[in-house]
Amino acid sequence: MNYSFRKKNKIVKYIIIHYTGMKNLKLAYQKLSDSNSKVSAHYLITRKGVIYNLLCPKLKAWHAGKSSWKNYENINDLSIGIELENKGHEFGYSNFTNKQYNSLKNVILFLKSNFYIKDKNVLYHSDIAPNRKKDPGEKFFLNRIGVRREKHNNKHKEIQDINKMLSLYGFNKMYIKNYKKYCIKSVKRTLNYKRISASISKKFINDFYNLLFN
Ligand SMILES: [Zn+2]
């Protein structure tokens, strides 16, 4: 199992939701527990709803890779990683199961109360590494686990500028500058769009606006 010790000044602030993106559970389990794989996560939740606690959340797992959110970098330092069994976009992306949602809900409730993690800090891998990652993807519904995204104060309400909206959403400014199209796709996944493109339609601006404010 790959892990590091958390630095004393880095407190756990985020939960990052992933999918395994592997052909089957056995391969995913092997990869997450193989010390040569250079990856690990704290929890793995199977399609049947079985929860594997692979690593103590007090330790740092290697699930996020190169990542940032707002002004924070190296999100592994600050987060707990949860993997959901799903073949992913590469091998046959499917809906998450009811049992998976139920188990995830329980794990998140436990983590939120033990680590004082706020709803707005339950994030996706695609939020913190939009240029590289699509998971958990457009078939994942946050409301199924009783978590609500951050809503912003009315003082920002005039904002219709896409860059400002992306920044308010939480993307790090480096991603907005260099990978804006990927950021837009990432938001569309969060909005559960069926077709994911980088185009900015009026409908998208409207949906994005509602995600941020209403
Ligand atoms: Zn991931």
Q: Which of 193, 195, 187 is nearest to 165 (CA)?
A: 187
Let me know: does 17 contact 31? Beta carbons within 8 Å: no
Q: Which of 145, 148, 144, 130 is nearest to 186 (CA)?
A: 130
The rounded Å distance from CA 137 to ligand 1 centre is 10
- Say yes or no: domain 4-145 is CATH 2.40.50.140: no
Which percentage of the chain shows pLDDT scores above 70? 97
The rounded Å distance from CA 159 to ligand 1 centre is 31
The rounded Å distance from CA 86 to ligand 1 centre is 11
The rounded Å distance from CA 168 to ligand 1 centre is 22
Confidence of residue 214 (pLDDT cuts 50, 70, 90): confident
* pTM attached to this predicted model: 0.96
Confidence (pLDDT) at 158:
65
Instruction: Show which residues are catalytic.
Output: 83
Query: What is the tens place of the pLDDT at every residue in 12-42?
Result: 999 999 999 999 999 999 999 998 999 999 9
User: For tokens 């004082």, what's the residue?
Assistant: 116
Provide Rg for the chain, Cα atoms: 17
- Which residues does residue 68 pair with via DSSP β-bridges, in sequence order? 73
In the predicted model, is pLDDT for residue 191 greater than 80?
yes
Residue 177: CB partners within 8 Å, gap ≥ 6? Answer: none
Confidence (pLDDT) at 155:
67
CA distance 169 to 149: 9
Query: What is the tens place of the pLDDT at every residue in 123-168?
Result: 999 999 999 999 999 999 999 999 988 888 766 666 678 999 999 9
Confidence of residue 194 (pLDDT cuts 50, 70, 90): very high
Delimiting residues of CATH 3.40.80.10 domain(s) in the chain:
4-145
3-state secondary structure of 91: helix
Let me know: does 84 contact 16? Beta carbons within 8 Å: no
Q: Residue 123: what residue type?
A: L
The more confident residue out of 10 and 187 is 187
